[in-house]
Amino acid sequence: MSAVSFTTSAPAGADALLSALYGGELFHLGASAASRRLVDDARALLREALGDVDDDLRLAPARLPGDEFFRRMGALRRRLYLGEDFHEHLRALVVELGFDLDRVAFDPLRLRIIQGGGHHNPAARAVYYPHRDTWYGHPQSLVVGWIPLDDLREEETFVFFPEYLRRPAPNDSEIFDYDAWVRHGWSLKIGWQDPEAGLRARYPQMTGPIDPAAEVLGFACGAGDRILFAGAHLHQTRAQIGERTRYSLDFRLVDLADAAAGRGAPNVDSRARGSAVPDYVRGAPPHG
């Protein structure tokens, strides 16, 4: 059993929370008023997209042809990522955690879908790569939030390799140029909008094995729980075994002053080029 564990309550104030995250703390916070509202609204749209199914949403994808399911989920991903109402959901989440909206910017909500047996699909192979989010042109001050839409067992979520926060992992992150990536397919930012992207695009990945002696931290969770971690943490999605699909939402957040000053988690191996921050949505809502 891993000696590493999650912290289950957030410190008061954004500066203390950011300091803890940059230092490597992993937070598993219970569902909040804002996260419950978000889950309810996202599930309502998911149910509508799947055809007002009466049965378990996690089993519904098996009833649709693959290309039709992909089309419907692509439209829903755009809605969640671009919709101002879901930006407001995210602002509410951020304020709950003690952040000042004038100080932050975020990469909005992304719907993640891990289908049962999806790890056998060559087009989805990059989903299962061990990776750091900072390998994709995000700053070392990146904070990631992850929220499940259902109660999930440990084997249905993902794992962290905590000691790798300060330990290099062999990787090819130098292949990733953010500016070139969005120039030829901005919709890929939203996540898997192109069904062939996983076959054509090159995504950063490890080029060697993870130390088998390295500690591994997994978790079970309830719908609406909030998992917070530094984007520099090495982590990996688990294969979804069986017929049930996993739905979750995640977002990325930066404190703009920390990003400008180069503060954040240690950079032990990221060589990605370009910066995603100029494309983030500013925390404070638009006026007028």
Report the alpha-carbon distance of residue 82 to residue 76 in Å, rounded: 10
Residue 54, pLDDT score: 62
Q: What are 56-112's pLDDT values in tens digits? A: 888 888 788 778 888 899 999 999 999 999 999 999 999 999 999 999 999 999 999
Angle at 144 between CA 140 and CA 148, to 5 degrees: 165
62: CB partners within 8 A, 6+ apart: 116, 243
Distance CA 83, CA 103 (A): 21
Contact between 107 and 186 under an 8 Å Cβ cutoff? The reply is: no
What confidence tens digit (pLDDT) does each residue in 117-170 have?
556 465 656 677 899 999 999 999 999 999 999 999 999 999 999 999 999 999
Residue 185 DSSP code:
T
Q: Can you tell me the distance from the alpha carbon of 27 to that of 40, in angstroms, rounded to the nearest whole number?
A: 22
Residue 242 — very low, low, confident or very high, per pLDDT cuts 50/70/90? confident
Residue extents of the structural domains in the chain: 14-282
Could you tell me the fold of the domain covering 14-282?
Jelly Rolls (2.60.120)
Using a cut of 0.85, tell me whether the model's pTM lies above it.
yes
- How far, in Å, are 1, 236, 240 from residue 222 at the CA level? 22, 19, 17
Across the range 34-43, mean pLDDT stands at 98
Maximum Cα interatomic distance, the chain, rounded to a whole number of Å: 56
